[in-house]
Amino acid sequence: MDEATRISPKDQFNSLLVRAIEGRRGGMALMRVLEELDFYNSPASAKHHLNVPGGLVLHSLNVARAALELCDKMPQFAKCNKDAVLTAALLHDVCKAGQYIKKPDGSYRYEDSHLMGHGEASVSIIKDWIFLTDTEALAIRWHMGAYSGEQDWGTLSKVYDRCPEALCLHMADMIATHIMEVEE
């Protein structure tokens, strides 16, 4: 058994998050809020990838690993700010915490109480507790890519041209969701 499998996903996540947001006021409060929001026990989705208790933290770790690997191995992302990429990867789906209702059959229903777009809601929650750089906020806001709707396509292209961290996060989220987390 390697070290990563002996350390709980929650502890792995917290260790990476402490590293990513080191020195920022509110970091410890954000970690308490994640606990209160049930981030560590929430599924990542209602019907698709990691729709199990604890799936959200596992997904966030997968996205972080994929994003850092993209930064390390793809020259196109070599200039990305790795701290910004790591922060955004770990926190991109914070808005999902506590939003899943378990149905009697064991499946989940997503109840969006934020009434904002997916990325916007996560940015809003995070900014209540810690400072986000513009790069981090853009990456989180635009991590859904074209899935946020046709109305965003013109802006999305501009964001990806100016903020490679946003494109890196989107690609890492797709890698995690559609490759790493696909049930066989």
pLDDT, tens digit, for every residue of 18-53? Answer: 999 999 999 999 999 999 999 999 898 767 778 788
Higher pLDDT, 144 or 25: 25
Which residue shows structure tokens 């933290």?
57
Residue type, 48: H
- DSSP code of 100? E
Q: How far apart, in whole angstroms, are the C-alpha atoms of residue 165 and residue 21?
A: 16
**According to the model, what pLDDT value does residue 184 have?**
45
Q: How far apart, in whole angstroms, are the C-alpha atoms of residue 68 and residue 172?
A: 9
Q: How far apart, in whole angstroms, are the C-alpha atoms of residue 102 and residue 41?
A: 12
pLDDT band at 153 (very low <50, low <70, confident <90, very high): low
Q: How far apart, in whole angstroms, are the C-alpha atoms of residue 24 and residue 13?
A: 17
pLDDT band at 110 (very low <50, low <70, confident <90, very high): confident
**According to the model, what pLDDT value does residue 152 have?**
65
Please report which residue ranges of the chain form alpha helices under DSSP H. Answer: 3-6, 9-20, 27-36, 55-73, 82-91, 118-127, 134-141, 153-162, 164-175
Q: Is the pLDDT of residue 109 over 90?
A: no
pLDDT band at 4 (very low <50, low <70, confident <90, very high): low
Sign of torsion, CA 7 176 145 171?
positive
Average pLDDT over residues 111-135: 88
pLDDT band at 63 (very low <50, low <70, confident <90, very high): very high
**Range with the lowest mean pLDDT among 66-70, 101-105, 125-129?**
101-105
Q: Is the pLDDT of residue 3 over 60?
A: no
